[in-house]
């Protein structure tokens, strides 16, 4: 799922390409993509885009007079830009927005249709769908600590909860926790002030660095290779590969459609966290520490 660095760079690219341009036509390949009824989608046709902003992991296209189109990419949704007359990805394309200078295309890979469009009228209606997460790049120590201590969950769950923090997902929570040297399964109630500040600073550093790296890759163009697995990440998507800091093999915890990656040595004093499925399969043979793996 695109996270804060991706969404920020998407918004910047959209400002360059569509702000001030009039939307000439909207084409939806599936009517269920649109999750709202009133106002109708045709209400934005013939209007220029006034601004683009981010709300959590959502992209907001502001068409003026309180009309906001909310784009939620979910896991497999991506945005593409094609010049007028350029080849469009018809197979993956689920929505097309025609502008005088090009076509903005919403694509979604796979068979599960989770990406969505929602058209709302007014700031109050827009605020109603905001999950309310704290903006991590703007948070003070006190605000960050309050969010962490609001509910007693694992750090991984708290960082990725959109009601608590805005824009952090599976990939960057792994990177943040590795940078902070904290276990993904550590309970928030067990964090002292020093650990919270270390986590806050790691969050700011990781998100800022990856936003700039993504921005540099895109340049004046449009993001084309948005992915959760990136060259240069410390642990996310690197199961079995050496930790860049200590050389120990990166570990993982698998659950549902996601997995958590971490370094047992850097983040958990060498102890391997139980993978529910694998530990059930291996039982007594499941390694409890890095020393048991050999």
pLDDT for position 85: 73
> At residue 284, does pLDDT exceed 80?
no
pLDDT for position 82: 93
Q: What is the mean pLDDT of the chain?
A: 91
pLDDT for position 107: 94
**DSSP-assigned states of every residue in the chain:** ---HHHHHHHHHHHHHHHBTPBP-EEEES-GGGB---SS-GGGGTT-BB-EEEEETTEEEEE-STTEEEEEE-TTTEEEEEEETT----TTTEEEEEEETTEEEEEEE-SS----EEEEEESHHHHHHT----B-TTT--HHHHHHHHHHS--BHHHHHT-TTTBSS--HHHHHHHHHHHT--TT-BGGG--HHHHHHHHHHHHHHHHHHHHHHHHHHTTS------S--TT-SSTT-TTSBPTTT-PBPEEEEETTEEEEE-HHHHHTTBPPPPHHHHHHHGGGS-SBHHHH-
Question: Given pLDDT bands bounded at 50, 70 and 90, which one contains residue 1?
Answer: confident
Reported as a single tens digit per residue, the pLDDT across 102-113 is: 999 999 988 788
pLDDT for position 279: 39
> At residue 250, does pLDDT exceed 80?
yes
Reported as a single tens digit per residue, the pLDDT across 154-185 is: 999 999 999 999 999 999 999 999 999 999 99
Please give the share of the chain, as a percent, with pLDDT higher than 70.
Answer: 91
Does residue 246 or residue 83 have the better pLDDT? 246
Question: Given pLDDT bands bounded at 50, 70 and 90, which one contains residue 288?
Answer: low
pLDDT for position 286: 34
pLDDT for position 112: 80
Domains of the chain: 4-128 (3.20.190.10), 141-293 (1.10.8.50)
Across the range 18-36, mean pLDDT stands at 94
Question: Given pLDDT bands bounded at 50, 70 and 90, which one contains residue 276?
Answer: low
pLDDT for position 293: 52
pLDDT for position 154: 95
pLDDT for position 285: 35
> At residue 128, does pLDDT exceed 50?
yes
């Amino acid at each position: 799922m695109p996270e804060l660095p991706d969404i920020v760079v998407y918004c910047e690219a959209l400002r360059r390409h569509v702000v001030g341009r009039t939307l000439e036509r909207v084409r939806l390949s599936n009517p269920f993509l649109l999750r709202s009824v009133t106002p109708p989608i045709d209400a934005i046709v013939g209007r220029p885009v006034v601004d683009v902003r981010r709300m959590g992991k959502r992209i907001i296209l502001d068409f003026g007079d309180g009309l906001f189109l909310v784009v939620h990419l979910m896991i497999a949704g991506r945005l593409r830009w094609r010049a007028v007359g350029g080849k469009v990805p018809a197979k993956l394309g689920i929505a097309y927005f025609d502008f005088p200078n090009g076509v903005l295309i919403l694509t979604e890979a796979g068979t599960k249709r989770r990406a969505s469009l929602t058209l709302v009228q007014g700031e109050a209606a827009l605020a109603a769908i905001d999950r309310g997460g704290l903006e991590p790049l703007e948070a003070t120590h006190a605000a960050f600590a309050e969010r962490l201590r609001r509910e007693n969950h694992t750090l991984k769950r708290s960082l990725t909860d959109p009601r608590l923090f805005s824009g952090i997902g599976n990939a960057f929570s792994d990177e943040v926790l590795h940078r902070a040297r904290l276990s993904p399964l550590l309970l928030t109630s067990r964090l002292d002030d020093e650990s919270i500040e270390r986590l806050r600073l790691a969050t700011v550093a990781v998100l800022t660095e990856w936003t700039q790296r993504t921005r540099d890759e895109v340049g004046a163009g449009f993001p084309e290779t948005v992915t959760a697995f990136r060259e240069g990440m410390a642990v996310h998507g690197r199961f079995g590969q050496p930790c860049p800091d200590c050389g120990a093999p990166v570990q993982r915890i698998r659950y549902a459609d996601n997995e958590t990656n971490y370094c047992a040595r850097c983040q958990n004093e060498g102890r391997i966290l139980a993978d529910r499925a694998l530990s059930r399969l291996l039982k007594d043979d499941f390694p409890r520490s890095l020393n048991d793996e050999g």
